[in-house]
Structure 1
């Protein structure tokens, strides 16, 4: 049975690591910057905790990372205490962080220099998807590394796809966030319009969700949006981070993202309202404020 390390036990990483243990039966060693959270994970799932990423990665066949951003990613992978310093020849690092395509290519180069494999593998599905082991995983890397790692990734995923070379997973995640931003803004405006027009929102959604307007956001968020409840998933602060990565990438590749840029500004207004930790459907809140 393969030995696995998991670095970063946040809202997403904590249950993902749990599925590797429970579903895969892997020997899992975890690391988290806050050691108490790692100890809690071990008490709940078994396995062991390590005091540094390097020590977590020692002897592991697969090293998973799920942290906040590019800088966080570098801090746990590169350097004397980073995961690469502890990885054995032929081990594979799978990065589930939503980060830039640039850092993905940087880490692939570092992995190759170490004699290791690398996959950038950001996920979509939010906290609920992580807890239920139903994430969509967008992967960048070479085919042979992907084929070796996919059965392990499957422990927390419902869909795993190889999108191209290193960085392609991150670029695909950018597409995902660009699409979500426009969908949530459209849904927010639609619900707002229905209310202002005196329509029964439930009745409206019941009809239009069976037609071309249907989306995951509509099916899963309209009720809480209608009720003004925004504590149900991916936070505005995280979405702004993701959109900033996509907008920065667009500056270099020449893509035009007028809607994504506008929605990013709207999320900035939500943050100014105190909604940084609200979920992304809170775009409706800025339309209904006094």
Structure 2
């Protein structure tokens, strides 16, 4: 069992850190607002630290799941950042969805300090985190990944190294590109069926067993038909992720015409007041 620090106790990080504790790892948590750390300690064995640096002291692995590029820099760098507390040979595992650029930047800083760095964004949503069934896409040095993978396994359904530093984040971009197109297609299909007077649930029962089936269809069609969206992965976060995808596409010369269009559709949902709604709320603009 390892000594682990977990930084960031949001809807994903809170249950992920819990799985580490239940697996027998010695876990120290840190969160920008201390109330979440206190609530975590009410449910799990472990300790809390007042700064990311103090959480990282003596830890073999430091996991992070925060908001964006700037948040990640904040928890890593500076006198109170995790890198200042990590011992030589310790490994930082970043589960945040961020740009490949900041990943490579921080991996270089970590290497200069004799620390490892694995970018390991996740897919599976809040339910996947709570059930320990996340898909995890990793980038980094082979030896760093090999050391971290048994610890990551506490909340992973599948975990794979896909290349050097930044590869995990690029794979997560592919994941979000797929979801954007799938969600728009599902929204159009369900809205079409309602306009046509069909029983949406009955239709989905049939078509989900064929070539049209997807995770989004199986897990979101009922709430979409019921106009319920107060859960799940927020539109605001999806737009952040799609912005990373579109910026990276410009950098590497890729074309993402559908992704760019769906990003603007999500902007419509934000303007309708749905920024904190689940991404399946895309159907709202078609009604």
TM-score category by the smaller chain?
over 0.9
Q: Counterpart in 1 of 2:89? A: 90
Structure 1 segments unaligned to the other structure (5+ residues):
none
Deviations 1:258-284 (CA, angstroms, capped at 9, x unpaired): 111100000000011110111000011
1:126-137 equivalent positions in 2, closer than 5 A: 126-137=125-136
Deviations 1:206-233 (A, max 9, x none): 1111111110001111111011111231
Equivalent position of 1:2 in the other structure: 2
The residue that corresponds to 1:272 in the other structure is 271
1:46 CA displacement: 2.0
Identify unmatched segments of 5+ residues in structure 2. Answer: none
1:203 aligns with 2:235: no
TM-superposed CA distance for 1:33, in Å, is 0.6
Instruction: Show the counterpart of 1:187.
Output: 186
**Which residue of structure 1 lines up, in the alignment, with residue 220 of structure 2?**
221
Which residue matches 1:19?
19
Distance 1:171 1:60 in 2: 28
Separation in 2, partners of 1:49, 1:196: 53
Distance 1:265 1:43 in 2: 41
Aligned twin of 2:30? 31
Residue 229 of structure 1 aligns to a residue whose secondary structure is coil
User: 4+ residue runs of structure 1 moved beyond 2 angstroms?
Assistant: none
User: What is the root-mean-square deviation of aligned Cα atoms in Å?
Assistant: 0.7
How many residue pairs get aligned? The number is 287
Q: 2:67 aligns to what?
A: 68
For residues 106-151 of structure 1, the C-alpha deviation after alignment (integer angstroms, 9 at most, x for no partner) is 1110111111110000000111111111111000011111111100
TM-score with structure 1 setting the length: 0.98
* Distance apart, 1:169 and its partner CA: 0.3
